Structure 1
Amino acid sequence: MPPLSLILVALTAIVAMSAVPVLVKSTAANEVTIGIARLVIAAGVVSILVAVSPARLRAIRAHQWRQLAVIGAVFAVHWLTYFASIKMATAVIAATAIATYGVQYLLLAWWFNREPVRGAEWLAMLACLGGCAVMVPSLSLSDSVTAGIVVGLVSGFLYACLPLLHQRAAALSNLQRTWGQFSFALLCFLPLWPLADWSLSNTDYLQLLTLGLLCTVVAHGLWVKASTELPPVFTGIIYYVYIPLAMISSSVFLDEAITARKLLGAGMIIGASTLVTLYRWQRSRA
């Protein structure tokens, strides 16, 4: 059993992250603007922490710089697709689509670690896809909600890559990896600067500040630590708290209706993902 303090770190990170869908959906800023703003704030704050002990950067070896660059690039595309999914669909549906990362991780484990995918795990993947299908109004990419779910699934796949990438770079400290993730992601976003729109209201800028400090510096910093040090079974299950929290906040702040179809779809995804996570954990112990 991992330390209770580490589980609390993961839960705190998820509670902070759950504000993201509502803030992204409600702000007038577009996906590129949100990404650049969050990363400038996050990379700036973490760079200050790193600057206190510059030897941490000098100690990074060449292959570890490459690992950080890959982590940052994957993180950047994950964010861009996630923000697009929220804007195209709804906050709840986008949050639910990305939650399929738990079963998508199975494909990554098979690809990178040659872990076999059993029948029960294939059923869990189908159940997650079925949960997404339940929520879409029509099976056509011309519908923005359907397109948003597809983009959310891509974002979820990239999100599933991140714990594996961080674990392979575990020789670096949490601060080094967090700094690398934000800094290299910012470098990936900067070429998109011409697409950003900074003609925003004070409320929009306050929302961007909240996204940068609370939902990025605090939440992702804590999640990097938790997802690296906790067994996957714990981070997998803890992450699904994200969906009901996003549903509640979307209902309160965005007046987004919690329909029976949304509850059914979310329930299928959470249930299948949780059961397959427990199944793999039990199988590994056996």
Structure 2
Amino acid sequence: MSPEKQSLTFLHSAVLLFGGTALFAKLIGLNALDITVYRTAVAAIALCAFLLFTRQAILLKQTKDYGVALLLGMVVGLHWVTYFAGMQMAGITIGIIAFFTYPVMTVFMEPLFSKRLPHMQDVFIAMMVLLGIYLLVPEANLGNQVTLGIVTGMFSGFLFALRNILHKRFFMGYSGPQTMLYQTLVASIMLCAFVEVPLNLVSQHDLYLLLLVGVVFTATPHALFAASLAHLSAKTAGLISCLQPLYASFFAFLLLHEKITLTTLIGGSLVISGAFFETYLVNKQAKAAKL
């Protein structure tokens, strides 16, 4: 197998596993915060073992980078709590669609750092995504669990977009596994004081699932995703990542028997299409800027 095909296999495997992560919001009998704490703790241990086994650096290059790692860990910790909470309230399919508004959010957040205004095509895509979200919302009332789940999922997308922007500007000098080691470690430590169910009271079934989501569905896909970038462009990685909601919805339908209505299908198609086109345009503009 050529290096390019191997990298493509790594990338699709990573995105498939990322899509499967959403299932654990329903499979594990804990609240979103508890799932996040235990998941990140397991992932941090697995990532540390991976870095030691592959003889990659663990310590950061500069003292100031630890402050950035702390900030990134706090943001990603809150992102994961809201990510799982949104799916527990709205369901896997609608929850992950709401989360995937983040590529469009990124375009409108980046000017705060780069002082570069969005293009008209970005505004059009944003309107398309908002229409998709409008179709998903059952009623304009936060007392409705699905509506609250959509808002929570979108807030999770906002936090994820913020994490990506901060990482791009201040933490690009580190590998994916090394970056995620610090983020999972900080997230777990930051949130552990708020755990509702202590580890000794977690059922054996949930413990197995937490080990599974921490090692197989968190540490492994991040390592695969980082490895795939050795022979693939960021554009390819970004576009293929847009398949994540498709994988998550398929798993939810197959394993959890979640029904997908016509309205959800139309609204979801608008949101995911917006994410796909925005990712494509951003990469196209970045390529043009280098010429």
- Length-normalised TM-score, structure 1: 0.89
Match of 2:253 among 227, 251, 254: 251
Counterpart in 1 of 2:19? 18
**Counterpart of 2:156 in 1: which secondary structure?**
helix
Whole-angstrom CA distance in 1 between matches of 2:229 and 2:72: 14
Counterpart in 2 of 1:131? 132
1:172-212 CA distance string (max 9 Å, x none): 2333212111111112112212x235544433222222111
Q: 1:113–1:226: structure 2 CA closer, same or farther, 3 Å change rule?
A: farther
CA contact (8 A) 2:16 2:244 kept: yes
**Counterpart of 1:87 in 2: which secondary structure?**
helix
Q: Superposition pairs for residues 262-281 of structure 1, below 5 Å?
A: 262-281=264-283
CA contact (8 A) 1:85 1:94 kept: yes
Q: 1:160–1:119: structure 2 CA closer, same or farther, 3 Å change rule?
A: same
Whole-angstrom CA distance in 1 between matches of 2:176 and 2:258: 36
Counterpart in 1 of 2:143? 142
CA contact (8 A) 2:97 2:271 kept: yes
CA contact (8 A) 2:94 2:150 kept: yes
CA contact (8 A) 2:175 2:226 kept: no
Whole-angstrom CA distance in 2 between matches of 1:96 and 1:229: 29
CA contact (8 A) 1:30 1:197 kept: no
Q: Superposition pairs for residues 108-257 of structure 1, below 5 Å?
A: 108-167=109-168, 168-193=170-195, 195-196=196-197, 198=199, 199-223=201-225, 231-257=233-259
Counterpart in 1 of 2:77? 76
**Number of equivalent positions:** 284
Stretch of structure 1 that moved more, 86-95 or 178-187: 178-187
CA contact (8 A) 1:72 1:180 kept: yes
Q: How far is the alpha carbon of 1:52 from its aligned partner?
A: 6.0
Q: Superposition pairs for residues 41-56 of structure 1, below 5 Å?
A: 41-51=42-52, 56=57
Whole-angstrom CA distance in 2 between matches of 1:174 and 1:17: 14
Whole-angstrom CA distance in 1 between matches of 2:55 and 2:281: 44
Whole-angstrom CA distance in 1 between matches of 2:207 and 2:245: 26
Q: How far is the alpha carbon of 1:282 from its aligned partner?
A: 3.2
Q: Give unmatched runs, 5+ long, in structure 2.
A: none
Structure 2 counterpart of 1:136, one-letter code: V
Q: 1:57–1:257: structure 2 CA closer, same or farther, 3 Å change rule?
A: closer
**Counterpart of 2:22 in 1: which secondary structure?**
helix
Q: 1:124–1:225: structure 2 CA closer, same or farther, 3 Å change rule?
A: farther
Q: 1:176–1:277: structure 2 CA closer, same or farther, 3 Å change rule?
A: closer
Counterpart in 2 of 1:102? 103
Whole-angstrom CA distance in 2 between matches of 1:255 and 1:13: 24
1:53-79 CA distance string (max 9 Å, x none): 999345531111112112211110100
1:118-171 CA distance string (max 9 Å, x none): 111012112112111101211111101000000100101111233333333122
Percent identical residues: 24
CA contact (8 A) 1:163 1:227 kept: no
**Counterpart of 1:60 in 2: which secondary structure?**
coil
Q: 1:270–1:173: structure 2 CA closer, same or farther, 3 Å change rule?
A: closer
Counterpart in 2 of 1:93? 94
Q: Give unmatched runs, 5+ long, in structure 1.
A: none
